[in-house]
A and B are shown apart, each in its own frame.
Chain A
Amino acid sequence: MRVLPSLIGIEAVVLVLLLGVWWSRQAEVALPHVGDRAVGVADAGPGAPEAAGVDRAQGASASSERREVVVSDGGASAGQQVILQGRLLTSTAFPEMDSIRMSMRRQGTWRSAEISAAGGYAVCDLSPGTWRVTCEVPGFRRLDFEHTLTGAAIQRLDIELQAAVVLPVSIRTTDGKRLQAELTKTGLWQGLGIVITAAALVGDFEPTENSSLSIAGVGRHRKSGDLNQLAEPDGDDGVLELDQPPPVYAAVLLRHTVLAQQRIDPGQTEVHFVIDLAEVERRYAKVRLRLVGPNGPIAKAMIRLSTAQGGGHGGRTDENGVAVIDKVLPGLASFDVMSPDSERYSTHLTVEPGADLDLGDIVLTAPGKLQGRVVGADGVGVAASVQWTAVDLWRPPHPMMDRRSTSADGDGDFALTDGMRRYSMRALAQDGRVGFAVVDASAAPTERFAITVLPAHKVRLSCPPMSLRVAVVTDRDGNPLVVSRLEQRWNEGSISLPDGDYQLTIYDGRGARLGSEALRVAGADLAKELQ
């Protein structure tokens, strides 16, 4: 008699254990969680596939948008290439594939998906591990989630897209005209944008170097890519795609400044902004300056204030070397002065909204020729791209002048004409080697100098979403070598540095110093979170 109760006891234990194993298996195939962006299943349209109900019944994540089936290992193992394929599942017609953006990224590696017209996708050259997947499809909620790849050579992940709340948007002036068309009449073709957030914005964002601000938010403004349409009085201002049901907040921005915002309520079918043109014009700044060279005022010099994408406003100096530039967009501006007999003066300015900025006298040096050679550790010339920034014209949190470069030829030789200043120089070889040099060209003639490029390691940088951080790497003497700006949505970046000791200083978008630390690069990549 005692055997049976013991047997039942053992069975009970075995059953519990087996249930535990079964439950854990269930957890493995359950849907991955999509962060905190809890998209309710109830939001799915009536055509949502039946499988969503399975997840709901199991009490899985409310973001039941993805289902995965991992096929067996086709021979791959850790370290080998992995392909992730699947389908973007929709309950409505699939949009044009050219308009879909899907990518995966991990530790500085970025891979984009190939999308078929029928909604199939494939991402290749991946490796086992956890990747960040982002998917933007017009008319559907943006997806941004983590997915872990195993060692299987070909793996499958079907992604179910849920329809976004799509609302037509219009931005009109107080007299009923289309604001964008009115702005193009004043020469403003860029800068206007709409962001969607879960909470109301308080104040402006930090100044951006881009023509318009890009934040992930809880939705996006989708408009025609046709530039000609910007100027059309009856043109289309596009739609707002909401990743979560209202209430949410939509704000019209001029670069980083908030022109207007409103709450979008449940049941709202369109969004209509009315903005006084004068309110936009009040954000424009005025910049005045006088250019002076060794022989006095510099006339007819060309001044340009532009965004990272170009455009912007400019003007010429008069006979007294004075220039007044109106309608300057607020934000971070690339500031260039071109005069035939002077240096190419290039730096950045932070322009406050509505500012009347008097830069005073800007003294240009005579043109100076810098001749150098990029060499490897063995002294052999190396073809490379060479960038240079005048140290005394740079200040944090501005970028260095890394959007211009000259080429060192196959012997490593290069020559460039700029001014008579101290320059921080960076050489980037095609094979990834990096080198720095600080050259004092303030006393002519400058001797030919060398930049030695060495194998480099990546310092991967990241910062919290919606924030702007600026990482400045300096050498032991405090000379700036590299500046990396992580702006809002693009909160990841990397810097390549050869082995050595550096100083890493972090600033916010307005130039406030947030911290500084010694940075040692020694034979391996590093990761830094910029808080």
Chain B
Amino acid sequence: MQLAIQFTRPLALIRRVLPLAGLGLLVLAVSFGCRSAAYVDPEGPRTIVTLDDINIQDWNQAADVMIDSLLTSAALEDVPEQPSVMAISRIVNNTSLQVDTNMLTGKIRRDLNQSGKVLTTTTIGLGGRVDDPLAESEREYREFMEDRPSEQRRPDFTLSGRIMEDQVRAGRTRQATYIFQLALTEVRSGLAVWEDEVQITKQGTRPAVGW
């Protein structure tokens, strides 16, 4: 008799719990499994986090920290003519990833331009490669027609840098660190007047969406 009671109680419990568990699973499946594509704020905290890539939020955060650091340093102030002019030099990609370094420098350029502290040139580039070839050819045309050199401002500063990575694993847990290094060089002296580094470390076993 006792045995019968012991078996019937768990069975009753299971019968009661099973529908609830099923309902819970259904809710989970609806909210996660059947999630359709939706727009998310690229600067918000609900973007996808992966270990094998530099995600959009990593670029954004690295650029944001660098801009704050550069503006706080007042390195851009020390020029005879304000605002100073900056050209983008080489950003070396030392990671195993194929990345467009403009993801970093583009944001920095835009924010620095908007700050009014610095102007970036689009007609002077490393190895003669310019961002705006039309502006450059137009300047050359004007110089030829007017027979005098244009008043093109030369850069006071150049921005160079390096992106590196460090990957480690312990058991199933992986850790990826992406290191962003930037330096601002004063052209006249050739000295680095500002340098900073941002490290972004991600750890996990599988990709995640940030919630």
Q: Do A and B assemble together? A: no
Chain A interfacial positions (CB closer than 8 Å to B): none
